[in-house]
Homo-oligomer: A and B are copies of this chain.
């Protein structure tokens, strides 16, 4: 059975039943159909947040198919509920880009899924669209100000860094010349689109405390300079009120359920390669307010999602996980050990062992934060007993707890070993995490610390353009912002061909973007792009719907 077959076969509970399990009264729910609801922010209870166990799920460097972080998060949550713990899984919202492109949905797989999976993977409750409109309203206001010379703040169009966005893999929009067609069409300008998840508005939504805070953060977005070199902010365009109004519902986390009827909160930001890539602070705190355990994930491997989750998000929200799960697959470890993608179902103990250093690097990264690690092997039917034993023995040798997880095949029952080891690890954790860098460090030092301590790089190399940009940001007073790296997810380095645990490499920062509203600097490493393209055969081509409304070809 495919994921969508399973998801459509299971009868979902009415969402009010899921809410009841969390002692949420029906009056607090804002329904979107019978299976989705938005939750009001006043359900957040800081006292409960302080008592709850936050569990972060991250991964090794993934194969193109992903390691099953979401599947493991859902399975772990179901496993925790299975053994009597009150646990909530807090996930990120899928982007339509991969849904129509290559990677597929982001709602788990097999018997560890969240439902209604079709809706969640499509428009869900409209949050992404609201974010895109907010982003693009600011763009239209900037260009309109430039166009109307009597009102123009004196914005120099050549300095405008604010891009538009769209939740689509559309390479053609990456670099455009806009405002052609003569006087009525505006002042021609080089610009482009990022994918919505990479928009600063997404980051603001994920990092704000409430709607007022969001409005303030929007005010502080730096968009470019006047001809006199004075910085211009969204507040100068009187934009932030309308921006906040567009986000008044998107700011509320969404409640859904796992296939086993356990609560799941889904809210905010994927794409930890090109964005901050973790769900919203509001959603994480909501999960912690409602559950004794809150299981959350951060995108791609620990060098990206987990690093940003800790250094940006948890630092800002004053949160700290009690344990970190690193998801690995035997397939991916063999891939890092040199096997080709088409042979990964064959047993190969040598390749597997050769792949361990990638896992080792990510374990060290999490340990560098001072946090307990649990390795979770996301089991595939093709894994052999000898392979499983090898990885078990390896983890024992290095003193890290390990569990085989059968969430895909068995749901929560298949994740009880993992759940028990996570509980044990969380009980040992008595400290808050230690960040990789201090906010007082210079921007360059911060980048260097991430690249050396987390990626294992030798040095950081900036292009002349990047040096100039960084200097400018420091002159504008942004030296104390944290860093949100944009780097390929396919390697610890900035070169996607370097698998395993690369050594003797530098990180090359091509250019910077800055998000002064969200509050971080974005170094862009290697060839990474913040607007993906579609693959040779986009998934969209396979999707069909029949007269009865039954959908096929979607995952």
Contacts and interface: CB of A to CB of B under 8 A. Distances in A.
Interface of A: 30-34, 96, 100, 118-119, 122-123, 126, 129-130, 132-133, 136-137, 139-141, 143-144, 147-148, 150-151, 164, 166-181, 184-186, 189-190, 210-212, 215, 237-239, 241-242, 244-246, 248-249, 529, 533-534, 536-538, 540-547, 549, 551, 553-554
Given A129-B129, A141-B534, A211-B545, A178 B181 contact: no
21 contacts: A31-B31, A32-B32, A119-B249, A123-B126, A129-B129, A133-B168, A139-B172, A140-B169, A141-B534, A141-B541, A143-B172, A144-B171, A144-B533, A144-B538, A172-B179, A176-B178, A177-B180, A210-B547, A211-B547, A211-B549, A239-B540
A167 B133 contact: yes
Contact of A237 (B541, B546, B551): B541
Contacts of A212: 546-547
Contact of A545 (B33, B245, B546): B245
A521 to B, nearest CB: 23
B167 A178 contact: no
B30 A30 contact: no
A170 B139 contact: yes
Nearest to A531: B185
A96 B545 contact: no
Count of this chain's copies in the oligomeric assembly: 2
Given A137-B168, A547-B212, A122 B246 contact: yes
Nearest to A146: B172
Contacts of A241: 540-545, 553
A554 B171 contact: no
Given A172-B189, A545-B245, A130 B136 contact: no
Nearest to A27: B34
Contacts of A544: 241, 245
Contacts of A177: 176-177, 180
A150 B242 contact: no
Contacts of A186: 171-172, 533
Given A33-B31, A171-B179, A242 B100 contact: yes
A123 B169 contact: no
A185 B126 CA distance: 29
Contacts of A170: 136, 139-140, 143
A150 to B, nearest CB: 7
B168 A178 contact: no
A163 to B, nearest CB: 12
Contact of A126 (B129, B181, B244, B542): B129
A169 B137 CA distance: 9
Contacts of A547: 210-212
Contacts of A537: 151
Nearest to A213: B547
A366 to B, nearest CB: 34
A290 to B, nearest CB: 21
Contacts of A549: 211, 248
A139 B169 CA distance: 11
A543 B242 contact: yes
A154 to B, nearest CB: 16
Contacts of A242: 100, 540-541, 543
